[in-house]
Structure 1
């Protein structure tokens, strides 16, 4: 089967792998532990209508592009790995500004999402982010955008991503919920809970029907009150592997200013839920996301 693979891919595949088949240009790896989270992500992001809605609505706005371009600069002629790539939002948003990678690998558990990503330039691999079929120390840039909180074991997924980064390379993780922003209780927790029927009523993206909403929520295993990422996750996983770690809490209303310490203001509904829970919404711990930019020392 390996002789059917593109030469620019086969050299980066590990000897210890779980290759199953080569299907329409997608390398399929066996998912050894198909958990409910993996099944939900596979189904939701593989649904043609839901994936299209997600592709068009999420991680495409100007503030998002502004921040990520400031971090990446250019990925021209670089080897880039996008873990949890979904239908390809990251590359679709940044390709006009960041150049053309030498190789762009997209890893996801959803065959349907990978088919969409393939159409815009990804070399797709169906695999578990917690058990990547790739060699170590080869990628210039490894990206996990809105990925970790979809994984059962966030530390394991982060460590697997870090393993791929070459000395001098960059690991970027963002749009995972910061745990301290979601310590909701009392009236704040009630407001959080009633958002779902309201979203359905408004037919908000990802929530247009009860079925779509069910599967959308099922994918986000660590996006709930009292859960999410903490600074310790990044320091404990990445520093022993030789990374210099920089963290930037931020809301989704600011762009490159995040790198200057401007974490912005959350939307009013989030601020209200936080105030009702005793959280100061204008503090860095109340910022909804925690961006990690980690450089592997040479």
Structure 2
């Protein structure tokens, strides 16, 4: 049975005439010049097996749910935009504890993943996060979970997302690698690279075959040694746009406690690589992830 598109969302498109078509419940906007990263994300996350394996393995644990629920509180009757929504993981994780949004827009470059998100309850939109098709200032909550590092230009995508937030609204990002935690060098860098054949041997989610691993890595544009997000990036970009910015480093091992300044310890494989690279794994700079919670003041 074909899913019907929620046409109530069309009022939030800057140029509705640019909507190309709808495909099984997905609103399709043109991406004229897809980059290799966009093509990789489209193929990998839309793959019927790989995409599901990834989302079943990632970002569904109790700590993740507790942390995000503490930040959001309730999205009951709110307009929510999930950029890089994939198959709909955030809503799948939080739908039983955060209420029911008035409108839940999911944006991604993968048609296959968006069809799954549509079945989950999203109003799904295929569009490039570097050039979002929406008007400014209409959303109560804009979310990017593990999304920025999959994009060619993280700052451009963050800026595009921030434009959508109305005064008093929230912009939330999480699960993007903190650059300072991945300053691997020497033996530490070698160990980091050696994790890949081990993952494949163990058939870990995203790495069960050479082909799957190759495509998975092609999506991870900024999840590499000496790459990632920084606190400065969020403050320097969002504060001039009228946001109050709070950054919460954490290691994926805590729930709401991460909002109180606790960040836990990295997993052992990261601690080993960090120690061999001269990084103090107990320091805040070694925390694997930066969560940004920004409130638009004006």
State the SS of the aligned residue for 1:175.
strand
| Aligned partners of 2:19 and 2:27 also within 8 Å | yes
Partners of 1:142 and 1:217 in 2: how far apart? 26
Partners of 2:247 and 2:6 in 1: how far apart? 36
Q: Which residue of 1 aligns with 2:98?
A: 98
1:16 to partner: Cα distance? 7.6
- Map 1:77-116 onto structure 2 (within 5 A): 77-116=77-116
Cα separation, partners in 2 of 1:200 and 1:52, compared to 1, 3 Å: same
- TM, length-normalised to structure 1: 0.97
Q: Which residue of 1 aligns with 2:141?
A: 141
- Map 1:39-118 onto structure 2 (within 5 A): 39-118=39-118
| Aligned partners of 2:53 and 2:206 also within 8 Å | yes
1:232 to partner: Cα distance? 1.3
Instruction: Give per-residue Cα distances to partners, 1:45-101, cap 9 Å, x unaligned.
Output: 000001111121111000000100000000000000000000111000000000100
Q: Which residue of 1 aligns with 2:227?
A: 227
| Aligned partners of 2:44 and 2:51 also within 8 Å | yes
CA RMSD of aligned residues (A): 1.1
Q: Which residue of 2 aligns with 1:27?
A: 27
| Aligned partners of 1:17 and 1:133 also within 8 Å | no
1:231 to partner: Cα distance? 1.0
1:15 to partner: Cα distance? 2.4
Q: Which residue of 1 aligns with 2:208?
A: 208
- Map 1:1-298 onto structure 2 (within 5 A): 6-15=6-15, 18-298=18-298
The range that moved more, 143-152 or 4-13, is 4-13
Which segments of 5 or more consecutive residues in structure 2 lack a partner in the other structure? none
Partners of 1:93 and 1:16 in 2: how far apart? 31
Runs ≥4 in structure 1, deviation > 3 angstroms? 4-7
| Aligned partners of 2:159 and 2:238 also within 8 Å | yes
Partners of 2:223 and 2:60 in 1: how far apart? 20
Instruction: Give per-residue Cα distances to partners, 1:220-265, cap 9 Å, x unaligned.
Output: 1000011100111111111111000000110011110000000011
Partners of 2:110 and 2:18 in 1: how far apart? 16
1:32 to partner: Cα distance? 2.4
Aligned residue pairs total 295
1:17 to partner: Cα distance? 6.7
Instruction: Give per-residue Cα distances to partners, 1:110-150, cap 9 Å, x unaligned.
Output: 00000000111000000001100111000000000000000
Partners of 2:143 and 2:195 in 1: how far apart? 30
Instruction: Give per-residue Cα distances to partners, 1:153-179, cap 9 Å, x unaligned.
Output: 000000000000000000000000000
Instruction: Give per-residue Cα distances to partners, 1:278-297, cap 9 Å, x unaligned.
Output: 00000010000000000000
| Aligned partners of 2:75 and 2:99 also within 8 Å | yes
Partners of 1:244 and 1:152 in 2: how far apart? 26
Partners of 1:85 and 1:119 in 2: how far apart? 13
The range that moved more, 45-54 or 14-23, is 14-23
| Aligned partners of 1:182 and 1:227 also within 8 Å | yes
Partners of 1:158 and 1:17 in 2: how far apart? 25
